[in-house]
Amino acid sequence: MKKLEDAPAERNSDATKNQRFEYCQWLMGNIQRFDLIFVDEAGINLWLKRTRDRARRGERAVRVVQGRRDHNLTMTFAVSARAGLIHQDLFQGGMTAERFNSFLNHVSEINQPEMEVCFVFDDARAHMQAQNLELPEGFNIKYLPPYSPFLNICENAFSIWKQALKTRLAEVREQTFDQPFDERMATLSLQFKRLLW
């Protein structure tokens, strides 16, 4: 017997598969034309922790924890298919349309492309207003097909980053919690950048 998981009926419907096929055709036709910049965000908490550990045979692996949890944070990545990670942002709370548009504007300001740029991201609610955003000339937007996170290279970057983050937070969590909020965010940003670079 295996754990039963629910999967949305639309995830692998014919319509979704057709949208993926059309996206792949667009990608192959434009991969030389555009500098593709993939954008995505991931929620984290300072109480992020390892989920597996060693224990003696016949004994449970137990970790004693305090009841408190810190605020949820959001890390946003902009990853270029040509240049790698080009920008990241950390803030408290979830992603909103205003924050997402501000992030895209900032990336378009710091990135001086030698060719046309195309931002690629999913159709999350906070991303949908980006189509009305006035980006500088040479910047375009392309939405990923629904239920297709595997087509966004940011997912791989987040996976590697979170793995390193769990180890790092185990070393600095207690002293980080004792800092005032502004100091804590500055410390975290510095630590996160060290993990990224």
pLDDT tens by residue, 80-131 = 988 888 998 888 889 999 999 999 999 998 877 778 999 999 999 999 988 8
Whether residue 60 lies inside any domain: the answer is no
Whether residue 59 lies inside any domain: the answer is no
Helix (H) or strand (E) holding 40: strand 34-45
Enter the pTM of the model: 0.80
The Cα–Cα gap between 17 and 9 comes to 12
Range of the structural domain that residue 41 is part of: 28-45+70-196
- Partners of residue 11 on adjacent β-strands: none
Q: Quick check: 76 and 43 in contact, CB under 8 A? A: no
CA–CA distances in Å: residue 54 to residues 60, 64, 188: 9, 15, 28
pLDDT tens by residue, 26-72 = 999 999 999 999 999 998 876 666 677 888 888 888 877 665 566 78
Whether residue 148 lies inside any domain: the answer is yes
Whether residue 53 lies inside any domain: the answer is no
* pLDDT at 176 exceeding the cut of 80: no
Residue 185: CATH number of its domain: 3.30.420.10
Whether residue 120 lies inside any domain: the answer is yes
Whether residue 33 lies inside any domain: the answer is yes
Domain total of the chain: 1
